[in-house]
Chain A
Amino acid sequence: MSEAQLAARGITRRFGGLLAVDNVSLDLHRGTMHAVIGTNGAGKSTLINILSGELLASEGQVLMDGKDITAWPQPRRARHGLGRSYQRSTIFPTLSVFENCRLAAQADQPQFWQWWRHAQHCSHSRDRAHQVLERTGLKNSADTPAGLLPHGHKRQLEIAMCLAGQPQVLLLDEPLAGMGPEETERILELLQHLKAEHAILLVEHDMDAVFANADLITVMVNGCVIARGAPAEIRANVQVQSAYLGDGPCTH
């Protein structure tokens, strides 16, 4: 297999005495939707935060295209092609949907000192914003203030904002949370399209969606990985079944 777009090597994170993530390794490849599932408190969000650079790992390495980025702060990782969405919609509520995307696209040509320029005339970020709105099906809401969008559209917007940065890797933290069946379907369809060009990490509680769409599933319990494999293997895994019944094999 080709080199992983993003790889975690032996990631460990302690919060005081609590071992939130324990020696987790995983690879994200373009063309593969890699889902991480696990009970609440299994360390999924901590893992995403370490990969995106919001939290530092106590031990272990994060590699992007083989390059060690463990010490990079989040903005640098993002500029290098690491996009992420949050469990709670993280958007600019008073700005228009278009400006949300335009601002996200502006990040790689920030024009920091060009104070005489008009941000709204910046064709680079404008074009990019139009593209991602088209792609995510939000074109008709371009002028709506983002805070007034229905919940499902806010989640879509967040993905659109990630795409505006033209990422290699997408880290999606529960993109389907709180969505109706139709909206879920729409997002999953989008993700299926996106995975051809992006390596995707999906943290999700909607098991039907995960088992129907993921190519690879990693199961975490109490901070450690207890199983990894294709959906069918995971479904048949005895350890996973018992973990989901509350009898975890990984005891810390």
Chain B
Amino acid sequence: MNYASKLIPIVVLLALAAFPLTGADYYTGLAIKVMIYAIFALSLQLLVGGAGLISLGHAAFFGIGAYCAALLSPESEAGALVWLLAAALSGTAIYALITGVLALRTRGVYFIMVTLAFSQMAYYVFHDTDVGGGSDGIYLYFRPQLSIGGWMPFDLENPTVYYLFVLACLALTWGFLAMLARSPFGAALTGIRLNEQRMRAAGYSTFPYKLTAYIIGATLAGLAGFLYALKDGFVTPELMTWEQSGLVLLMVILGGVHRIGGAVLGSVTLILLQELFQSQALFGDYAQHWHLSLGLAIIALVALLPNGLAGLSAQWRARRAARISPRSISVSGDLNV
């Protein structure tokens, strides 16, 4: 490992931390949205790219994290950050434990359907009952505060502080998942993704691995949902729809399934494309049909980048190598997928 590759993350992190100083409120807000979705996509990347579990119900965890924040916050004053965060994370983890034990008994397309069913279940609980204000959603009036014996190290009501808080969460999530990926646990998850039969034959009980990964992924999605609730101060059942699950899955696929950074790249790209095609200034009246242009852009990107955005450099290298020696074989991507 050379110095450059160690320095780049630090430089990027500092640059991002300095971003609010530009004073562009709109862009700071957009950056917060991108970072929250990046955490959300990273959490799903652990399942899809790490364990090979394709979940189409990940939005349920995002929503539960958000609802925990909104429902448990007092209406007339700021709640305690530590307790609210702990409640949101453990709430999602418990829901993941219960649904995971059942969903992980299935595999492949059935797993996709079962996770979808569980997330729809959560959606309808919040949509059709009064638990969280029904389809109108629920407000969160004050961002929670961190208070240690009366001393407040930071105030999340300050937009810059909140921005830095989200950035820190993203950096910690990314770092944690990178650590997990290279650990023996992560190596075993890779084995399960590539060939579960061989892992069992080698002596791995694969179920606890998958369940643990599922719960970690869900909890981090809950963190993203928690931050999202703080961002807008408003939570609706729409956060749990299957379109939301599909969107985050698309971010992971678009970014490149087998690289952790891919999830971040995918969420940046997708959200910026959304903003771009919704822009009246650029597209005029056509901007109201932004779904169409976004869809076409996604089709083009997926078709041109089979290994995702993060696999782009490997794809170029392979192409150049193929031009030099036509018989060389590209090994990017999974041979058994």
CB within 8 Å of A: which B167-191 residues = 179-180, 182-188, 190-191
Taking the nearest CB of chain A, how far is it from the CB of B281, in angstroms? 45
23 sampled A-B residue pairs with Cβ under 8 A = A75-B200, A75-B203, A78-B200, A90-B195, A90-B198, A90-B201, A91-B195, A93-B195, A94-B334, A103-B187, A103-B202, A106-B184, A107-B202, A108-B203, A110-B184, A112-B184, A112-B185, A114-B183, A114-B184, A115-B179, A118-B182, A120-B182, A147-B335
Q: Please tell me if A52 contacts chain B, counting CB pairs below 8 Å.
A: yes
Q: Please tell me if B296 contacts chain A, counting CB pairs below 8 Å.
A: no
Q: Does A92 lie within 8 Å of B194, measured CB to CB?
A: yes
Q: Does B182 lie within 8 Å of A107, measured CB to CB?
A: no
Q: Does B198 lie within 8 Å of A107, measured CB to CB?
A: no
Q: Please tell me if B76 contacts chain A, counting CB pairs below 8 Å.
A: no
A83: which B residues are within 8 A, CB to CB?
201
Q: How far is the CA of A83 from the CA of B329 in the complex (A)?
A: 32
CB within 8 Å of B: which A80-118 residues = 83-84, 86, 90-95, 99, 102-104, 106-108, 110-118
Q: How far is the CA of A95 from the CA of B187 in the complex (A)?
A: 10
The total of Cβ contacts below 8 Å across the A-B interface reads 110
Q: Please tell me if A122 contacts chain B, counting CB pairs below 8 Å.
A: yes
CB within 8 Å of A: which B47-86 residues = none
Taking the nearest CB of chain B, how far is it from the CB of A87, in angstroms? 12
Taking the nearest CB of chain B, how far is it from the CB of A96, in angstroms? 10
User: A178-215: contact bitstring with B at CB < 8 Å (1 yes, 0 no)?
Assistant: 00000000000000000000000000000000000000
Q: Please tell me if A142 contacts chain B, counting CB pairs below 8 Å.
A: no
Q: How far is the CA of A117 from the CA of B336 in the complex (A)?
A: 28
A148: which B residues are within 8 A, CB to CB?
329, 331
Number of B residues with CB within 8 Å of any CB on chain A: 32
Taking the nearest CB of chain B, how far is it from the CB of A213, in angstroms? 23
Q: Does A93 lie within 8 Å of B191, measured CB to CB?
A: no
Q: Does B197 lie within 8 Å of A165, measured CB to CB?
A: no
Most A CB atoms within 10 A — which of B187, B206, B212? B187
B336: which A residues are within 8 A, CB to CB?
93-94, 147
Known interface pairs A78-B200, A78-B203, A94-B331. Does A106 touch B188 (Cβ–Cβ under 8 Å)? yes
| Among all A-B residue pairs, the 4 with the closest Cβ atoms | A78-B203, A107-B203, A119-B187, A79-B203
Q: Please tell me if B165 contacts chain A, counting CB pairs below 8 Å.
A: no
Q: Please tell me if A66 contacts chain B, counting CB pairs below 8 Å.
A: no
Q: Does B185 lie within 8 Å of A93, measured CB to CB?
A: no
Q: Does B331 lie within 8 Å of A117, measured CB to CB?
A: no
Q: Does A118 lie within 8 Å of B331, measured CB to CB?
A: no
A84: which B residues are within 8 A, CB to CB?
201
Taking the nearest CB of chain B, how far is it from the CB of A102, in angstroms? 8
Number of A residues with CB within 8 Å of any CB on chain B: 43
Q: How far is the CA of A54 from the CA of B199 in the complex (A)?
A: 12
Known interface pairs A112-B185, A118-B182, A119-B184. Does A92 touch B204 (Cβ–Cβ under 8 Å)? no
Q: Please tell me if A76 contacts chain B, counting CB pairs below 8 Å.
A: yes
B335: which A residues are within 8 A, CB to CB?
93-94, 145, 147
4 new A-B contacts at CB < 8 Å, known A147-B336, A161-B198, A161-B202: A117-B184, A118-B182, A118-B183, A119-B183
Q: How far is the CA of A148 from the CA of B202 in the complex (A)?
A: 22
Residue in A closest to B329 when the chains form the complex, CB atoms: A148
Q: Does B186 lie within 8 Å of A165, measured CB to CB?
A: no
Q: Please tell me if A239 contacts chain B, counting CB pairs below 8 Å.
A: no
Taking the nearest CB of chain A, how far is it from the CB of B57, in angstroms? 25
Q: A110 contacts which of B182, B195, B197, B204 (Cβ < 8 Å)?
A: B204
Q: Does B182 lie within 8 Å of A103, measured CB to CB?
A: no
B197: which A residues are within 8 A, CB to CB?
86, 90
Taking the nearest CB of chain A, how far is it from the CB of B19, in angstroms? 31
B204: which A residues are within 8 A, CB to CB?
75, 107, 110
Known interface pairs A111-B184, A114-B183, A119-B184. Does A95 touch B190 (Cβ–Cβ under 8 Å)? yes
A102: which B residues are within 8 A, CB to CB?
187
Taking the nearest CB of chain B, how far is it from the CB of A43, in angstroms? 20
Known interface pairs A103-B187, A145-B331. Does A76 touch B194 (Cβ–Cβ under 8 Å)? no
Q: How far is the CA of A45 from the CA of B197 in the complex (A)?
A: 15
Q: Please tell me if B147 contacts chain A, counting CB pairs below 8 Å.
A: no
Q: Please tell me if B274 contacts chain A, counting CB pairs below 8 Å.
A: no
Taking the nearest CB of chain A, how far is it from the CB of B208, in angstroms? 7
